[in-house]
Amino acid sequence: MSTALVILAAGKGTRMNSDLPKVLHPIAQAPMLAHAMRTGAALEPERLVVVAGHGADLVAKAAQQINDRAEVVLQEDQLGTAHAVDMAREALAGFDGDVVVLYGDTPFLQPDTLERMIAARKTHDLVILGFEAPDPARYGRLVMDGDTLEKIVEFKDASDAERAITFCNSGLMACDAKTLFDLIAQVGNQNASEEYYLTDVVELARARDLSVTAVSCDEDQTMGVNSRADLVNADAVFQARARAELLEDGVTLMAPDTVYLAIDTVIGRDAVIEPNVVFGPDVTVESGATIRAFSHLEGCHVSRGAVVGPYARLRPGAELAEHTRVGNFVEIKNAVISEGAKVNHLSYIGDATVGTNTNIGAGTITCNYDGVMKHQTTIGARVFIGSNTMLVAPVSIGNDAMTATGSVITRDVEPEALALARTPQENKLGRARKLFDLLKAKKARRNKEAE
């Protein structure tokens, strides 16, 4: 049966004390919403509806960047969770399949949990997700009779016996679309908050003799994020899990607690990650590569056997082939470093291609920006670029060529040629002492005037 996801993302998140909608606050350098959408994608849903409210334009833009198939509907007035789901009614008109309701601020739900909910739908009309809580506090309780969910009782309305129940409500559910929207149409708002609660559909379903059950998951999968403190804790949970998975997969993390990972970081086994490395979005590091301490990577690909850092920065579009070397205080942006090439010290290589087994000397800069447009630098194979060379793009250096140290290269260099582009040096005998005496006298006069 086909599946539709409805992700509730309308909340303002007052406790965040932020102009940014709550679901757009990042965990592992991706909006919370991205985590929920990523988990839901495991079901290969036919439809994806995001219910936006506060900051709807921003939420819509983010949702469609994450998945361009996302349909965004507006909940202008936040009148409760049932009201929020009802905003998806028109978008899903005519849809004949299961609807799974997720929350945009619940980032740790696992795909296998959703799969178990869908499996339970084969024998039940309505499936609720619950969790066992050692300290259930003020969570709503799930009152079970065997595998039948009799009702959801809010803490304030629960008896002592019901408060002793540790099986709690997460708020997530799965139901066929027609039944879900029929039940929601019957939900009232006769409560202190005058809101329409999604949890009320359980009682309504039982009144219609529909089969209702609950699937259980670990409590940390249902962790909601409502404040900056929650956000910090959630990020810590993600990092701990991601590091543990890398270690299990055969990656060496020399100081795991100091390595920061993004939602989509991919690292192959036998790669070595030294302390204090930060991975931004869209980074792949192949097996056997080494990322040395204090390096920062984003939007890049590092191939097998490459060594990066320490103190290196790889920016979006950096592509390092096998057995390349990018050393300390080197920045690479939108550039291909071909197999065996070395950029070892204090250099910037941007909008460039560097050929195989080429050596880039310390202090080299590809001058790629003229103040308006970017330009390309092409460096061939087995080239030696002398230290402190400025390559003023657009420019090409042929195979087996060389540039002299301190050159400013403004024209193409033919293969096997040596390019020298320096102003001739002149030594003015005795001029240094005279200049120092002149400057010292000037400084003394200035100091005297200041008195």
CATH code for the structural domain at 228-419: 2.160.10.10
% pLDDT > 70, the chain:
100
pLDDT in tens, 383-414: 999 999 999 999 999 999 999 999 999 999 99
pLDDT for 306 equals 98
C-alpha neighbours within 13 Å on the C-beta side of residue 244: 6
How many Å apart are CA 257 and CA 240, to the nearest integer? 8
Confidence of residue 155 (pLDDT cuts 50, 70, 90): confident
Given this model, what pLDDT does residue 257 score? 97
> Position 313: which residue type?
R
pLDDT at 10: 93
Count of beta carbons in the 10 Å neighbourhood of residue 233? 14
Higher pLDDT, 396 or 157: 396
Active site residues: 345
In this prediction the pTM is: 0.88
Query: pLDDT at position 34, please?
Result: 97
Q: What is the mean pLDDT of residues 41-50?
A: 96
- 157 pLDDT band, cuts 50/70/90, is confident
Within 13 Å and on the Cβ side, how many CA atoms surround 262? Answer: 20
Q: Tell me the residue type at 110.
A: Q
Over residues 367-381, mean pLDDT: 96
Q: Is the pLDDT of residue 275 over 80?
A: yes
Q: What is the mean pLDDT of the chain?
A: 95
**Fold that domain 3-222 belongs to in CATH:** Spore Coat Polysaccharide Biosynthesis Protein SpsA; Chain A (3.90.550)
- For the chain, residues classed under CATH 2.160.10.10 are 228-419
pLDDT value of residue 386: 97
pLDDT of residue 233: 94
* Numbered ranges of CATH 3.90.550.10 in the chain: 3-222
Given pLDDT bands bounded at 50, 70 and 90, which one contains residue 107? very high
Least confident of 52-61, 98-107, 188-197: 188-197
Cβ-proximal residues to 251 (8 Å cutoff; 6+ apart), any chain: 267, 268, 269, 270, 271, 272, 273
Q: Give the pLDDT confidence score for residue 13 in this predicted structure.
A: 83
Q: Is pLDDT above 90 for 194?
A: no
